[in-house]
Each structure stands twice: as structure tokens, then as C-alpha cells.
Structure 1
Amino acid sequence: MQNKNHTLRYHLFFEWEMWNDVMKPNGKFFYDRFLWLVILFISTPVFAFPINLTADWKLVSGRNLDASVEDISWKELKSLPIPKEAVQSFSLAKDTIYTLTLLKTFEISAQEVQELTLDGLSVHFPLLSNVYEVFFNGEKIGEGGFILNGKIVRNGFKRHIILPIPENKVKIGSNEIRVILSWNPGEELDVYASFDSAPLVVDLQSRNLSILSERPRLILSFLYLFVGFYHFLFYFKRPKQRYDLFFGLFSMFFSVYIYLRSNAVYELDLDPLLQMKLEYMVIFNITAFFLLFLDTFFESKVSFVSRFYQFFALILTSLIPFSSRAVCLLLLQIWQLSVFVFALYSLLIMIRALIRKNRDSIRLIAGFIILLTSAIADLLGSMQLIPGLENYGLLKYGFFAFELGIVFILANRFLRVHNQVEELNLNLDRKVKERTSRLQDTLNQIRELKVHQDGDYFLTSLILDPLNRYNVQNDFIVVEGFSRQKKRFEFKQWKKEIGGDIVIADEIVLKDRKYLVFVNGDAMGKSIQGASGALVLGVVFRSFVSRTKTVSSYYSQPPELWLNECFLELQNIFEAFDGSMLVSVVLGLVDLKSGILFFLNAEHPPTVLYRNGVASFIEDKLELRKIGIIGLESKMKVKTFFLEKGDSIFVGSDGRDDLLLGVGPEGIPVINEDELQFLKRVEESKGDLDLLVQGIQNYGELTDDLSIVKLSYLKEPVRLESISNHNLSFKFPDETYFKYLRLENWEDTIYHLENLTSKISSETMPPVFKKELAKVYYKAGKYEEALSLFEELISEFPEDLEMIFNASLIYKKIERFHQAIELGERVLLRDPEFLDNVVHLAESYLLAHKKEATLKLLEKAERLDPNNSNAKRIRIQLDSSIPDHRNG
């Protein structure tokens, strides 16, 4: 009855105000208005709806649905929101979820129940926080959030909650609403009495639903988004006007903030905590973008204060995603306090602009004052510093006034620009003639420069032509090449081309064995830049090959070390250009007799093998970056491949893959990215180089320089495993030999092998037999005899890494460290992950008193096996006194 009487008084008060409106200040009575007032009194019934529920609640700790209204455990609340003192009066356990139950009773008459036949009844909660359940006369009519195993797994706080009340639950007389609230310690617990001027009421469903109507809010949100996007695009047209960027971000962020504060955002079904975090992250940056806009608009630069405030906003924003709801509320309060500093500094910028008599500032100041006033009013309302003052959402309307000021400023600037354009049009004819004359002079200069440029291209091509040769003839291997540069030109009567691709092939002798040496390079850059790189590569490589043919220290090197030294010389030259000149290469040697291919690939397309009609890559991963990049020496690896009779090797630049396949629907060129297409072209051409080039051009248009070198191996290779023991008059290895090996009886093994040796001459002794004899000599400690055989075998069969490694170990044991290091380096280049060799080589360098090399190898060994005992022993010996054997 109390609520009903209160509502009746409200209507009487309203009618009394209408009575006063019909009176003039001089007391004269207007009879026509009085007549309408009487009719209104007679025809208008006094409804109980809406029933205001903001006062006279009861509160109890825990979840309580059974206690009657008269239960003494209830605590009285005069009005909402819930005072902090009321919550603190309960003994709540720490570090657990808190739960309270609120109870409100109100009266509904029989006449009022009859009114519900035309419209339903509902209750409107302005805001509930956090997890909530609402019961009307014992039946649950709504809930939000979710609790599982004593933890809040989904938050439930929400604005403008409208819960329909079942008609069959409405009683004549006393009705009750119970609200169960749960929240984490430190979070906000509340039932708002009002939000956006909409109180907590029980009212007809249609009237409550009208609260959710937000057309003006959403229209303004779209308008601000459009204006912000317009300024954002304007910035990309004129990047110097940075204030367009900051104002665009400010307006778009403000649009997003309005949407997040609307009821429409609940259609996304986001977790309320996530929604709140997004809202805070947006609003924290709005003020920062506004300060940056003011600085760049009036000062043409960003001040220290604005940068600091921007950094402050970014710190708060970055903390939000990782914070609980309680911490988020604390961060919001910190930001709210900073807004007063923001407002003062913004006013300072505006006042300085006014003092300088900036015309735009005069137009902007009015809108800014309205914006600032509405923002401060909303801020004070949200902070609840003044009793009865709410956040009425005035900021969105204040911002509209500010946007209008910006529109007038931009219109004024447009008029100024328009006037300047008209002034320019007056002198357009004269300026066009001047520009045409200048353009003709420029064109003549360009033509003259073009002639000079083509002359430079021509001279460069004359230097490159002698280097770009690959005519090699022998009985073992056939070399074919193709080169086509992208840049073609005419100089006088000559037609030439120039680019960064180069192919070179030659024959050299290393350790009395003939090798084919080749290089296919692709220098970085187009035309003259690429040609410069190819020129440097060709000159340095040709110089190194020439020295190999004349200087004993070069032609006495094994193939692995020769490739390593050649690569390092190229690397040192290109490093001098500080990364402005890089080149990808495949650098290789082919042992003509054994058919072994030794090669390095520095970020060149993979090498292709064509064997028995099938094309395949012989490389599975990239080992080296382009020559010229610092730090390649530590990643060196010499790869090997064993050629068979009839095999063909194809090495080519990336022009073979970078083919233009066509133009996409949006006019974007479609470039081939499938390197397997080259394998298909090789197979289609059946290994024929001319048909291969034709197939590539048929598949797509060349977009880069293209060079391909083809190596065809003609003979049967001579290798250790290819020579059998069928010429022997006895079986080897026999059972006796295997028995001695199992028993590790080396003396008897040697005796047995030497008896067998006496049956054959040294000229016909099979290499496999020699290898077994050398290994047994090594096991028995007869190093000189083992070394003699290993040296002979390594010279004839350089493919066997085991023999090279064993020979290196013997050299170390007999204190010939230079030879031990040379063989160990060969093994290291071909198998950098061979741990035993890395440790052995480190010890050899240590004994040769080369501490720096020892340290590098020990670091490598420790990366391969941190617990290697031999590596630890060698590291301990580094500081010990090592006898000087460098003359050994």
C-alpha cells in the first residue's frame, strides 16, 4: 500500500502543477484551461503502475529463498543503492565468493491485476552486479552469470535488465521480489536505483521495453564513425596533416565507446567482463587521441605532456586484458582522476591558440567548451561524487556540438583552398607553357642520358662476355649453358643484354686429379647493379682459378678445402660492400674419374638431378645465405653427390621459377611460386637444354634474368665400392678374418692378412682389401703401415670419409698436426655434425697451439653434446702447458 499511496501522491502532485500552469502571475483565471483540467481529473484513472522499488529493501547474507519477511535475520535498507556499510556488517569469509539476498515486497490491487489483460508486467533493474538471480513470488524470472565449483566462470553484471513477470504469479495483495547477488572480493556489488534516468520499477512490459529504445544514440554513433573514417582517409591522402589521423582515431574510438555503452552491444552475447574491458580500453585512449589532435592542430607538433599522457593511457590499456574486475575498476578510477589533468591541459592549448588569434581556434572553442562541460558532468555522475547526480550520457550530445565546430573549420579551410585554386587558374595558361618548355628540356636531357646509359651498359657487357664462358670438352663430362638477361638494349648498331646472371666452367687439377669447376651466380639487382655484382663474381672467381693452375699451394689442396677457400675469398670481397651487393651461387667441383660432385649452395635454387627420366632435387634444405651476408663462415658445409653414367645435373638461377603466369581478377600479376614446376619442365624436355628453355617460356613469361648450366656425366665412375674382389684366388673376407675381428686379436689378424697379401701382387690388390688391412694396422698401433695404405686409398677414392678421418687420427698420434688438421677440416666441411671429428680437430688445433680455432670447435662440440667428456678434457687442457710440436 505504501508504494500505491506514493504513486497516488505523484499523480496528485502532477495535477496540481497543471493547476498552477493555468494561473497568470496577476491571478487571472483562464476558464477554458480550467474546463480541460476538470475533464482530465474525471477521465484519468489513478494507476499503481509504475511501482517504484528503490526504497524499503531487506538484506541478508547468503542465499535465502525460504525466510519469511518477518524473519529477524533481515536487515533494513532505506533505499538503493546498497551502502558499503551494510555489506561490511556481515561476517564474510575472505578469498571466497560472497552472496547476499535482497527482498522487496509491494502491493497490487485487484483493479491493477485486471489491467494486465492488455499488457504484461515486468520489472526493470537499471544495473545488477555481479552474478544475479531474480525470483518473483518464489519463481525464478531471470539470471545472469554462472558459478561453477565456487568460482565465477561467467560474469553477469548488465545494464537495463528487463525481466517479464509471469501473469499467473501476480497476486492480489502482497508480492515479493528476491534478488540473489554473488560477487568476488574487491568487486562492485550493487543494485542501482537508477541508470540513464530510468529507475528500478515494476511496470507494464511495453513501457519498460521503451527504455531500450536508443535510436538517437546509435545514429550519433554511426555519425561519429563516419566522420572519423572520413578524417582517417583524409590523412592517407595528406600524411603531413597528422591532426586528421588523431581526430579520426578520436572520433572512431568515441563511436565504438557509444556502441559499447548502448544496449545494442548485448546482441553480441559477449562475456560482461570482456565487454567491460573493451569499453575501458577504448575510453582510456579517447582522451589521449584528443590531446594529440589539439597539439598537432594548433602547435603542429606533439608536446611532452601529450606524449606522456599517451604513454600513461597505453600502460592502463595494456594492463586491462590481464586484470580482474576489481583491478579494472581501480584502473578506471585512476583514469577518471587523470581526466581533470587532461581537461586543464586541453584548455591551456585552446587559450594559447586564442592568444595567437588563430581563426580556427575561435570557431573551435565554443564546441570544445560544450564537449568539456558534458564530459565533466558525465564523469562526476559516474564517480558518484555528488549525491543524486548520475551519468546521463550528455557526452554524446556534447561531442555532436564539437563535431559541428570541426565541420565549420574544414568548410572554411576548403573555401580558402578554393580561392587559391581560382587564383592559380588565372595564370594557368602561362604556367602550362612554362611547364611544357621545361618538360621538353627535361625530355631532351633524358634522351641524352639514355644514350650515355646505353653506352655504359655496352661497355659493361664487353667486360662480362669474356668471363661468362663454359666451353669445356673432355671424355668424362659435357657442359652446356644458357643465359638470357632481362635488360636488353641497343647501342648504335649493336644489340646486347645485361644482367646479374653468370655461368663459368673450367678444368683444374687438385692433388693430381682432374676436376671440372663451375659456378652459376645471380647477383642482387637489375641491369647495371646486377651486372656489377656478376662482374665482381666473375673476376674474383677467374682469378682464383688462374692461381690454382699456377700456384702449388692452391693445386695441392683437396677439393673440400679448395671450395672452402674459394668461397671465403668471394665472401670477403662481397662483405666489403656492406650488404649493398649480394649474390646467390652454386659453386662446384666434379671429380672426373670418380664422378663425385662437391658443391656449395648459397641461397640459389635447389640443384636438380635428371636420372632415368626422373627429375629430383639433390638438396633438402638451405645451408648458406647469399654471399656478402656477414657470418657465413661458421655455417659452411660442402655437399657431395655421386654421379652415375648418364646422369645430368641442372643448376639454374631463380629466373627459372619467377614466371608471370597471367593477371588476376583485380589486375594483380600472378607469379609462379611452385618450384616443382621446374622439375616437370626437365622431365618434359627429357633433359634437353634447348627444349627445357622453350618449355619454361611456354609455361610463363620471364620476369628475371635466367641462366642454366647442364652437366652430363658420360663414363662409369671409379669408386671404392664399385671394385669387387672377384679377381682374387681366395675368398675374402673369410671366417678366420671375422673370428679374429670378434676376438680383437689384432696381431693374429695382421698375420692372417699378410699371409693373404703374399698370394697377390701389390698391383692387383683390391682397394677393399687394402682398406681392411689399413684399419687392422691402425687398431694394432702400426700407424706408419696404416697411414701408407690410407694415403694411397684417399688419393684414389676421396669419397670415403671414414678413411679420411682415420688417417687424420693417425697423423695426430704421430704428431704431424698440420696433416691431421687438413684431413680433419675436410671431414668437417662435408659433415659438420660429426661429433668425434669436431672433438678430434679441436684437440689437433690445441696441440698445434692454435687456441682461437680450438675454442670455436669446442663451442661447436658443446652445442652438439654438452656432456661430451673429451670436449671437457680438452677445455681443461687449454690453460695447461702444451709441448710445441708445430715443427712436426
Structure 2
Amino acid sequence: MKYKLLAIALTLLEPIYSQSLGVWEYKKSINMNTEISQLDKQSGWSLISLPFNFASLPSDTEPDLYWLRNTFTINDWDPNKPYSIRLGIILDCERIWLNQREIPLNQDCESNKPQAYDKIRIIDLPWNLLKKDQKNEINILVKRYFPNEIGLVQDRIELGESKNIYKDYYLEEAIRLSFLVVYLTVASYFLFLYIRRPQEKEYLFFALFSLNLVFYQFLRCQSKYFLNLDFWMLKKWEYCVLPSFIPFMAHFIRCFFKYSYFNRYKALDLASLLTFLVIINISDILILDQLNRYIIQPLWILYLLNSLFILISESRKSNTNAILILIGILTIVLSAVVDILAARFVWNIPRVSGYVFIANILFQALILANRFVQINEEVEDLNKNLEIKVTDRTKSLQLSLEEIKKLKTNQDGDYFLTSLLLKPLHRNCNSKSHLKTEFITIQKKQFEFKNKIHQIGGDLSLTEEIELKGKKYILFLNSDSMGKSIQGAGGALVLGVIVESIIARLKNHNFRNRFPERWLKDAFLDIQKAFETFDGSMFVSMVMGLLDLNNGYMYYFNAEHPQPILFRKGQASFLPNNQKFFLRKIGIKENEDNFFIETFRLESQDQIYIGTDGKDDVYFTDSEGNKYMNENENKFLEYIEETKGNLENSIFLLQSNSELADDISILKIENTRVLKLEEPTNMEYLTHLRKAKSLIQKGYYYKAKKELVLSLNLHPDYLATIILYGKVEYHLKNYEDAYYIWKKAEENFPENIDLLYLQAIALRKCNLILDSIDTAERIRLREPDHQKALILLEELYSMNYQRPSFEKGNSMESRAA
């Protein structure tokens, strides 16, 4: 048996004797139907060595046809031994004559479609047309398909016995198919590995690359013609494979070295996908050839550049696998360049990329397999020494855990000390029954210290009773410092200390002798300047204000804090705000230019809720169990309405239906008693008022004053009458009396900005310029675009006067005293 196998092997390896036909005569032709008998009578024949691309000739311009001819002699001719001629690859269509007789071929040279331009032609020579011991002439007419390719362009030209010619041909195909079997085996193996370890994406891309290579190489070899499929369909499949060929290799390298899927790869993949979609919709092979040359191959270069970047970067880190793969890639690139140049007829050599590819594929497969083996060896080592490693690891973890516990204890101690410092700053010092205040604070950071649960964070709420210009106010504050846990707590601590120092200064008369608007601005400036020193590393959002205990009027500023909520008559809504102006967070530089005061008057049973963004930044869970951030700013308003204004129950609903994502603190202010003024209906009052208005129109101010006094005796709190009374005194040049009338009216109607303006002009008439400026500035703080107040301020600041001093008793209040 072994001798038979040896004989077969020797038969396959025995030299194939054939006659080489290298030098031919050629000439151009313009007529497909030229009579073969006329060729010998024509001149213009030239010599050339084949294979050769006639399109590279300088004289190749218009003709799409070339004639080729050669002669040969068969010695020792035996009719029982058939002869064949191997003509290599002809672009594209040919007709063949032997001794003036045409050999029938299965081609349609009149058609414009390609006729198997990459097929190696082996023509069986009819024995009845051959001449024994004489010269035999063979003539070939070739037709152009590609613009830059025509002739017998590749492979070799040989004449010999058919068995030798076909043996050589089949042996070459057997070698190529054996390569494909190797590629397919490698692809299947790594596809199986990917199925077992789907997290290792490099196995998938290597398998896809190998499968792509199998399909492409099969479509490039001669065995595809054994399937008897349409040539155009085979070439369409071949072009469809090309856009994904190199990308799979590039992604294999990317995943092997654990690089992310960055934007350059995404752009190249998108371009390759679009190219594939274009290819499947094109039926012209000439266009497909142009796409390959000018789009697909340049994309390959870009992929290779990205891969080379990764490989070179890893090679610089002395990564052995990267160095080996880089060598393999460079070898493939070199072989591909050689084959591309051969395909473009720069030289005539067999395709070498197939041999390089199989060596490289096997080499990279060994690298992947070695990596897999290393992982298995590590697993086996872990299994053998698992108990020892677990013991060592447990000891290490115990030591680490003890160290962490010590650090955690120290950290919690720091948290606890910080929380102790913050505790006195979180206080509710309002004791009034008609204006109730309460607040709830839930810090996100909870910690245990000495078996007790404590909390720490950046939210701060406080209330305090203060006195300004002899009137009682409730100071309220709700703030949220930037950062979590200790950072936020640091900001809250700084803010709380600054506010405490501002409150402490109220013991000084000069600091108490200020209007609420001016006092709030001074407090804002103190806080702002302090936080500016942090140079952007700490900001605070806050609402800080004063609530008049007498009339329930609220002055406040909002530094990029959530808008306060009003709960009135069972309906919750946001407080109206000034849309023209916007105050940024405390600590942002040049923020003082944006400062303004907002005001609001609480009616009976009104409730105000001032809270941090923690009440809105909560997570909800959908029906599938997925968490999502709340985007409905009205959600907490619904809880307030549902609980009818109960703060604790509203917080309970919030925690029951969602998961907190941040610190939360909410300050609630409730007004249970507010003076409600009614419209006067007394006929005697109305009669005096009508007479007064009529007398004013006529200029009888003294008589009008008497009528207004009578009407005010009947209804002393009607605003329109009070304003009119003050205007009469103003016209009578009793400016000081007019001021006090309007000043007293302001106590009941602080929301009326006109009363402030009237006071300012009365003070100017009294030559109390500083008091007039102070009053006009109150208007500008509340309404920065109040035109009359701005004009008045411009006039006051431009006057040349000796500024009076409050300390020397030149204010209206001191003169009244």
C-alpha cells in the first residue's frame, strides 16, 4: 500500500514537459469579422513577449481588437495523445483559429458583457486540425472590456499533452482549495471560542475575517467555474465581500488590544456600509471596478493606518503580540501591493498573497490560541492553589478591611464633628403664632458614629427674628451648597457663620437703621464677597428674605435656587418671578450687578414652600423596573395639594414614590392672620371723597383737605384716599406732612411701589437728599427698570449738595423724634 501512495506522489511531482510559446506576433484590428485568410496578406505585424497588457503600448489608442499569431511544431505526434494549449488569462473575449480553421468556444464576442475575464483558458486542440511534423499556425483575436486592459495579461502560455496541462492546472487548484480548508478550520475554531466566551470580541472578528477570506479566495480561484454559475453573479459576490474584508481584521486588532470603538472607526465603518449598499444596487462591473479602485482600497488604507497606530503604540510598550502581529500585517501589506501591481500588469508573477495569508492566518491563530492556553493555564494554576490563594487573599482582605474600618471611623469622626458645628446653624427661632415657620432637612449622606445615625450635607435652613427701623421681621434662609457630604457641609458651614455674623451686627444701631431691601442687599454683598474668595470651587444657591410680622409682606432674593411654591386655597403654584432679571449662584463673580429684590404679600392661610433641588432630583421606576430621573418640576406641587399643605406628609409621599438623588431641605412659611381691607361703601364717606376730588380739580386744596379729613375719619385705611390726602398736602407745600402720610400708608400697603416714589420726591422737597436717595434705591432694588425712580436717582446723584449725616440727626426719622 505504501508503495502505491509513493507512486502517486511521484506522479504528481514529476516534471511537466510542455512547449513554451513566449514570443508572438501582434497587430491591431478594427473589424471582428476579418477573414483569417486575409491576415497573411496584411502587413504591420510586430513581435512581443506574452503575457502582456497591450493597453500599456504607447500606440494603444482606439482599437478594441488585437490579432495574435504564433507557430509551433509537434514532433513524435501521436493521434491517441490529445494536445492542449494553456493561454493564461485573456482580457476579455477571444476567438481562436488553428491552421485557418476556427475552434468553437463558448463565448459571445459580439456582446458587451464580460466573458470570464479572470479565467485561465485551456484550449483542447482538435487532432484533425493538427499537422504532423509541420508548422501549425494559431491565430487569436482578443477583444477589450476594461479600458486599460487587453490581451493575454497573466499566467503563462504553454503547449503540451492535455494530461500534463490539466494535471498542472488541477494541482494548482488543489493547493488553493487546501488553503481554503485551513482558513475555514481556523474560522470555525475561533467562532466556537467566541460562542463559549462572547465577551472576547476579538475571536468573533478573527473568525469573520477568516470566513470572509475563504469566500473571497474561492471567488478568486478557478474552481468557481466548476459550479457553472453565471459569471456576472460570481463577480457581484466577489465585490460584495470587499468592503468588509479589511475592516474585520482592523476590528480584530482593536479588540485584541482592548481599544475603544472610537469615532474614526465609526466613520470608516459607516463609509464601508454605504459602499456595500451601493455595490448591491449596481449591475455594471466597470462601475464596480472603479468603486474598488477609488473607494474600497483607499478605505482599506485608512483602516490599516489605524491598525498600525495601535500596533506601533503597543509595540513601544514591548508587547510581544503586537510586534508579531505588526510583522505579519506588514508582510500582508507587502504581498497585497505585489498582487495589486501584478493585477495592474506592472509585472507578471503569480499571486503571492494567498501563500502569505495562510502563513499569517496560522501565525495569528497561534497567537490567539497561545493567549487562550495562557488563560487556561492561569485557571488551572488557580484551581491547584485555590485554597492557598483564598487563605492569603482572605488575610489580605481582613487586613484591608481593618484598615478601611479605621479610616471609616476617622472619617465618620470628622463627619460627626462637622455635623456638630452645623447643628446650631440649622435652627427655627420664629415664635410667632400667626406666621408659622417649619423646615425639614434630609441629607443624602448618612453615617453611623457611636451607634447613632447622623447626617451631613450642604443644605441649610434657618429662621431668626430681627428688627429693622423699629419693625419686626422674620429672617428666613434656605440654601444648597455645591458638592456632596463634606464638601457641601463646608459650604453650608461658611454660609451659616457669615449669616450669624450679619445677624450679630444688628446689635449696632447703624445696622438696624436700614430698610429691608437695603439690609438684604448688604447681606448679599457680604456673602457674595466671601464666596468669591473660593475662586469658583464653591457656589451656593439660596433664597434669603425678610417677612414683615405686621402685614405678612415678604422681601427676598433668589440666587439660582428653585422657585418658591405658593399653596393658596387648595392649589399649589410657583410664585411669580421677574423674567427680565436673573441672579446667579452666590460666588460667581460680578454677580452683584444682577441683584434685585422680589416681593410677595401673604394672604390669610397662604403657605410658602422654599426648597432645594433635591425635591425635584429624584428617581422613579417604570413598570419594567428601570430607573429614570424625574423631569416633571410640578411633581412636588402635586404632593402638596394631595396632602393639603402638610409638609411632613408631602415629604413622606416623595420618599414613598421615588428614590432621593440629592440632599433635600424644605422651609415652610404659613400665614394664619393677615389684615384684610374692604372697599368703603358708606355714602357719607363717598360724598366727602367726591367733593374733595372736585375741589382738587378746581385748585381749592384747603377745602379739599377738610373733605379728605372727614372721609378719612370714616375710613382711615383706604389707600386711594390716603394717597390723595398726601398729594393735597404736597400741593400745599407741606412736604413733611405729605411724607408722613405716605409713610404710614406704606405700613399697610408695602406692595404699592408708588407710595415709595411719592416719599422720595417729598424727601427731596425737604432737602433730605440722602433719605430721598435711600428711598429711591429701594424702588430700584425691587423694580430695576422703574423709569421714574431711575430719573429721580440720576437727578439726586447729580445735585451738588452737602451730604447730611444720619448720625447728626438730619434724617426725617430723627427730626420727627
The bucket for the TM-score relative to the shorter chain is 0.5 to 0.7
Structure-2 residue corresponding to 1:628? 587
* One-letter amino acid of the structure 1 residue matched with residue 658 of structure 2: G
Change (3 A) 1:685 1:397: farther
Change (3 A) 1:835 1:409: farther
8 Å CA contact 2:547, 2:554 repeated in 1: yes
| Equivalent in 357, 361, 365 of residue 330 of structure 2 | 365
Change (3 A) 1:649 1:410: farther
Higher relative contact order (CA 8 A, sep 6+): 2
* One-letter amino acid of the structure 1 residue matched with residue 608 of structure 2: I
* One-letter amino acid of the structure 1 residue matched with residue 239 of structure 2: R
Change (3 A) 1:592 1:398: farther
For residues 359 and 291 of structure 1, what CA distance do their matches in structure 2 show?
17
* One-letter amino acid of the structure 2 residue matched with residue 756 of structure 1: E
CA positional deviation for 1:635: 2.0
Do structure 1's residue 756 and structure 2's residue 717 form an aligned pair? no
Do structure 1's residue 259 and structure 2's residue 210 form an aligned pair? no
For residues 234 and 663 of structure 1, what CA distance do their matches in structure 2 show?
38
Aligned to 1:214, the other structure's residue is in SS state helix
8 Å CA contact 2:479, 2:542 repeated in 1: yes
For residues 274 and 749 of structure 2, what CA distance do their matches in structure 1 show?
78
Do structure 1's residue 731 and structure 2's residue 682 form an aligned pair? no
For residues 370 and 257 of structure 1, what CA distance do their matches in structure 2 show?
28
* One-letter amino acid of the structure 1 residue matched with residue 280 of structure 2: A
| Equivalent in 793, 810, 813 of residue 745 of structure 2 | 793
* One-letter amino acid of the structure 2 residue matched with residue 618 of structure 1: L
Do structure 1's residue 641 and structure 2's residue 606 form an aligned pair? no
Structure-1 residue corresponding to 2:463? 505
Structure-2 residue corresponding to 1:614? 571
Structure-2 residue corresponding to 1:654? 613
8 Å CA contact 1:371, 1:399 repeated in 2: no
8 Å CA contact 1:590, 1:596 repeated in 2: yes
8 Å CA contact 1:647, 1:712 repeated in 2: yes
1:338-737 paired onto structure 2 within 5 Å = 360-372=325-337, 408=363, 412=367, 415=370, 422=377, 435-548=393-506, 550-619=507-576, 623-662=582-621, 665=624, 668-717=626-675, 724=680, 726=682, 729=685, 731=687, 733-734=689-690, 737=693
8 Å CA contact 2:696, 2:704 repeated in 1: no
CA positional deviation for 1:215: 0.9
Aligned to 2:280, the other structure's residue is in SS state helix
For residues 720 and 438 of structure 2, what CA distance do their matches in structure 1 show?
36
For residues 780 and 837 of structure 1, what CA distance do their matches in structure 2 show?
23
CA positional deviation for 1:448: 0.9
* One-letter amino acid of the structure 2 residue matched with residue 542 of structure 1: E
CA RMSD of aligned residues (A): 5.2
8 Å CA contact 2:566, 2:607 repeated in 1: yes
For residues 113 and 794 of structure 2, what CA distance do their matches in structure 1 show?
90
CA positional deviation for 1:477: 1.0
Moved more, 608-617 or 624-633: 624-633
8 Å CA contact 1:23, 1:30 repeated in 2: no
Aligned to 1:586, the other structure's residue is in SS state strand
Q: Deviations over 1:314-368 (max 9, x none)?
A: xxxxxxxxxxxxxxxxxxxxxxxxxxxxxxxxxxxxxxx9xxx965554333222
Structure-1 residue corresponding to 2:218? none
CA positional deviation for 1:802: 1.3
Structure-1 residue corresponding to 2:770? 818
8 Å CA contact 1:500, 1:525 repeated in 2: yes
CA positional deviation for 1:561: 1.7
For residues 567 and 35 of structure 1, what CA distance do their matches in structure 2 show?
104
Structure-2 residue corresponding to 1:73? none
For residues 369 and 732 of structure 2, what CA distance do their matches in structure 1 show?
98
For residues 38 and 274 of structure 2, what CA distance do their matches in structure 1 show?
41
For residues 523 and 338 of structure 2, what CA distance do their matches in structure 1 show?
77
Q: Deviations over 1:199-234 (max 9, x none)?
A: xxxxxxx99993895211212323334344445555
8 Å CA contact 1:515, 1:592 repeated in 2: yes
CA positional deviation for 1:740: 5.2
8 Å CA contact 1:370, 1:401 repeated in 2: yes
* One-letter amino acid of the structure 1 residue matched with residue 279 of structure 2: N
Give the number of equivalent residue pairs.
Answer: 615
Q: Deviations over 1:504-528 (max 9, x none)?
A: 1121112222111111222233332
1:47-126 paired onto structure 2 within 5 Å = 49-50=110-111
Change (3 A) 1:263 1:693: closer
8 Å CA contact 2:695, 2:704 repeated in 1: no
| Equivalent in 199, 224, 239 of residue 246 of structure 2 | 224
CA positional deviation for 1:397: 12
In structure 2, runs of 5+ residues without a counterpart are 1-27, 40-64, 86-96, 115-144, 149-227, 806-817
Change (3 A) 1:468 1:18: same
Q: Deviations over 1:445-495 (max 9, x none)?
A: 111111122222222222222221114222431122222333333322433
Aligned to 2:479, the other structure's residue is in SS state strand
8 Å CA contact 2:780, 2:789 repeated in 1: yes
CA positional deviation for 1:22: 8.7
For residues 660 and 491 of structure 1, what CA distance do their matches in structure 2 show?
28
Aligned to 2:586, the other structure's residue is in SS state coil
Structure-1 residue corresponding to 2:236? 214
For residues 327 and 248 of structure 2, what CA distance do their matches in structure 1 show?
25
Structure-2 residue corresponding to 1:74? none
Change (3 A) 1:693 1:30: same
Aligned to 1:734, the other structure's residue is in SS state helix
Q: TM-score, normalised by structure 1?
A: 0.58
8 Å CA contact 1:228, 1:248 repeated in 2: no
8 Å CA contact 1:584, 1:604 repeated in 2: yes
8 Å CA contact 2:457, 2:489 repeated in 1: yes
CA positional deviation for 1:562: 1.8
1:145-184 paired onto structure 2 within 5 Å = none
CA positional deviation for 1:582: 2.7
Structure-2 residue corresponding to 1:170? none
8 Å CA contact 1:500, 1:534 repeated in 2: yes
CA positional deviation for 1:803: 1.9
CA positional deviation for 1:533: 2.3
Change (3 A) 1:401 1:696: same
CA positional deviation for 1:811: 4.4
Structure-1 residue corresponding to 2:757? 805
Change (3 A) 1:52 1:453: closer
CA positional deviation for 1:686: 1.3
Structure-1 residue corresponding to 2:12? none
Change (3 A) 1:675 1:788: same
* One-letter amino acid of the structure 2 residue matched with residue 220 of structure 1: L
CA positional deviation for 1:125: 12
For residues 720 and 603 of structure 2, what CA distance do their matches in structure 1 show?
20
For residues 255 and 623 of structure 2, what CA distance do their matches in structure 1 show?
26
8 Å CA contact 2:242, 2:296 repeated in 1: no
Structure-2 residue corresponding to 1:86? none
Q: Deviations over 1:230-256 (max 9, x none)?
A: 455556x446xxxx9699569637734
For residues 739 and 591 of structure 2, what CA distance do their matches in structure 1 show?
34
Moved more, 639-648 or 280-289: 280-289
